[in-house]
Structure 1
Amino acid sequence: MSAQAAQDEVRRFLLENPGFLLDDPDLMRALRLQPLPENVVAFGPAALARVHAAHRRESAARRQLESTARANFAAQAQTHGAVIDLLEARNHADLARRVDDLAQLRFALVAGAVALEGPERAPAGWRPLVEGQVDLILGGHQKLARMGFWAPALGLFGDRADQVKSMALVRLAIWEPAREGLIAFGSADPNGFTEDMGAELVAFLARVVERTAERWPVL
């Protein structure tokens, strides 16, 4: 018999035999129950404490889930708004400015930047990188993103680098043949971006930046 079936059987028995508990003082004591006038069974303090503790745990878990859901919804809403901002860029310099603006104004970050490897020059407003530097920053050719603090990437944030305590870095591949690049967001909070954090929303913005940048050639 399964546990649920056993519980159902016990419940059915008690419903059919309401005096069973009251007629067994030892069982009443073991369950920490006590009879009240008119044969009403009351839970003792220990039983009530267990019920109250379980309710607190359930309420705390529910609040945490609700808080996480609200945060995720807010982040997604801000990301969708950021996409509209990026798609309205008029040129490469304007696109880089918009990345920095949305980092500060939409996500309350220190800075946002886009960077591109050479040897050809980077577009106006983009951080220039030497060939192979993207792999060095991300930690490997196959790695698409890096979250957390990584000192070698601080130079991407220019004169605001000393304010950055954590960062989100995602690889870019633009034009054909592809040139490697990065989109980078820096936070003043050490826990703003952590190694165990998913990079999906940042990667989504990276894909938008790629497609938008390909509208114009690098002059």
Structure 2
Amino acid sequence: MSSSISPTIDETLREEIILRPDMILDDRDLMQALIAANERAMGGNIVDLRGIAMERLEARLDRLEDTHRSVIAAAYENLAGTNQIHRAVLRMLDPVAFEPFLHDLAGEVAQILRVNCVRLVLESSQNDNDPAIRRLGDVLSVAEPGFIEDYLSDGRGAPLRAVTLRQLSEGAPELFGDKAQSMRSEACLKLDFGPGRLPGLLILGSEDPHMFTPQQGTDLLAFFAGVFERAMRRWLQ
């Protein structure tokens, strides 16, 4: 004669579960194991709609958690970018003379922004051979009127944006000089110096092809360009 003995759970563990059922409910792996055991007990010809609903809720929860992590990561990245631009602006406003202002732009400001090259293009209708411009040749270029529009539109006459981000096979030699071949992306900040003045262009060049891409936001760079415009107006008076 055979007897069936029902498996029992340790009494101490049983009492702990009764007192604290949430420790099972909050454990996803344990709950999934219990649900799987329940489905096996019901047999293969029974559809457990509650189990299907729970699986769908779990999938939705996973997607929400992924979205939550992505939003937090984007927020931290945006905060870091904001702090970076603010530091660059404060450093840019330190010099009280034009030449140190531009030298810092290609030096410490470029380092804060983590770019490999900074170029300022000013349009002029005169053939300017000012010695100061020659001394600033590592950062300043003087171009004929219309150059900036052609450069930004690639000669196609497309509408110009305040900030243009694009990837490069290489940089323009007339702007980047011996660094042109290593440039892989650039941010072009169109500058407005006020009524009656020709436009300017501030170019941030990077060897990283993913540093500046058309899919990125431009609000922070537009703010930086606005501060730069106002700083430059002091020297152009």
> Residue 87 of structure 2 corresponds to which residue in structure 1?
81
How far apart, CA to CA, are the structure 2 residues paired with 1:207 and 1:159? Answer: 29
Q: 1:88 to 1:142 in 2, by over 3 A?
A: farther
Q: Please, what TM-score do these two structures have when normalized by structure 1? A: 0.70
TM-score, with structure 2 as normaliser:
0.66
Give how far 1:30 is off.
Answer: 4.0
> Is 1:115–2:134 an aligned residue pair?
no
Q: Distance in 1 between matches of 2:233 and 2:103?
A: 16
Q: 1:203 to 1:71 in 2, by over 3 A?
A: same
- Residue 204 of structure 1 is aligned with which of 212, 223, 226? 223
Q: Could you tell me which amino acid in structure 1 is paired with residue 86 of structure 2?
A: H
More strand by share: 1
Report SS of the residue matched to 1:90: coil
Question: What secondary structure, in the 3-state scheme, does the structure 2 residue paired with 1:186 have?
Answer: strand
Check if 1:128 corresponds to 2:154.
no
Distance 1:168 1:76, change over 3 A: same
Alignment: residue pair count: 182
Question: Counterparts of 1:27-106 in structure 2 under 5 Å?
Answer: 29-33=46-50, 44=51, 48-102=54-108, 104-106=110-112
Q: Are the aligned partners of 1:78 and 1:107 in contact in 2 as well (CA < 8 Å)?
A: yes
What is the match of residue 155 of structure 1?
174
Instruction: Compute the RMSD of aligned alpha carbons.
Output: 2.9
Secondary structure at the aligned position of 1:109 is classed as coil
Identity %: 26
Cα distance change, pair 197–114 in 1 and its aligned pair in 2 (3 A):
same
Aligned to 2:187: 168
Aligned-partner Cα distance in 1 for 2:166–2:173:
12
CA 1:189 to 1:156, structure 2 compared with 1: closer, same or farther past 3 Å?
same
Q: More deviation in 165-174 or 83-92?
A: 83-92
